[in-house]
Amino acid sequence: MDEPDIIRLIRTGDETAFEKLFRLYYERLCRYADQFLKDSSLAEELVQDLFVTIWENKVNLNLQVGIKPYLYRAVHNRCLNSIKHEQVKKNYSNSFKANGSAGVHQNEQPLEAKELTKRIGNAIEKLPEECRKVFRLSRFEEFSYKEIADYLGISVKTVENQMGKALKIMRRELADYLVTMGILIFISMYFLIILNVDRGLFFLNGLIQ
């Protein structure tokens, strides 16, 4: 069974084909991720989460670049996100310590940030299904528009339209949080901590334009 057949069968919900793909690449991808993360448990968790994402989006699986390049690119991006995430959390924690933030636990986010995290998560879930898939691939997986188009089997123009729609909905859902500069800083901080630096700033720019 070659890769095009495996992908075709996975799209139809064939668990045997998915298991074959998993067995074929899982250990290799874990070793690849561990080269970046230096943590075998975290590497395994990251790769497992990737396969869960693939299965959940199997109907739209339409890889023009081939499954191997896609898998390694996805693992690479997730590893970089994880590293940036940990570094920003560390810097954030050190900043609190340096400023003598009494009564705030090292791993505890301000209440406003926790509320904002919840609101942003809820806003993302309110996006239409196809719109949400495009948004997550762009912001969470760091796919280019061309890569998203290839992955979902749609045109680049459709990706652009879906992203525009996503940002419009997010602006509407978070309108009350966008009225003061203080809250804008929290939005930026959320994406710096939860996602990564570059994408956080890009997302913020998209909301306030």
Q: Is residue 37 part of a domain?
A: yes
Question: Would residue 162 count as lying in a domain?
Answer: no
Specify if 58 maps to a domain.
yes
Is the residue at 73 inside a domain? Answer: yes
Mean pLDDT of the chain: 77
Q: Considering only CA atoms, which of 138, 157, 156, 158 is closest in space to residue 202?
A: 138
Q: pLDDT confidence of 171, banded at 50, 70, 90?
A: confident
Asked whether residue 169 is domain-assigned, the answer is no
State the pLDDT confidence band at 106, using cuts at 50, 70 and 90.
very low
Identify whether 175 is part of a domain.
Answer: no
Residue the block writes with tokens 């139809």: 12
Tokens matching residue 36? 């970046």
* pLDDT band per the 50, 70, 90 thresholds, residue 165: very high
Structure tokens at 96: 């609190």
Q: If 0-12 CB within 10 Å is exposed, 13-18 middle and 19+ buried, where does residue 155 land? A: exposed
Higher pLDDT, 90 or 108: 90
Quote the domain boundaries for residue 74. Answer: 1-82
Q: State how many domains the chain has.
A: 1
What distance lies between CA 165 and its chain's CA centroid? Answer: 18
pTM: 0.56
Whether 113 maps to a domain, the answer reads: no
Confidence band of 39 (pLDDT split at 50, 70, 90): very high
Q: Is the pLDDT of residue 205 over 50?
A: no
CATH number, domain of 75, equals: 1.10.1740.10
Q: Residue 128: which region, alpha, beta or left (left: phi > 0; alpha: psi -120 to 50)?
A: beta
Any domain includes 161:
no
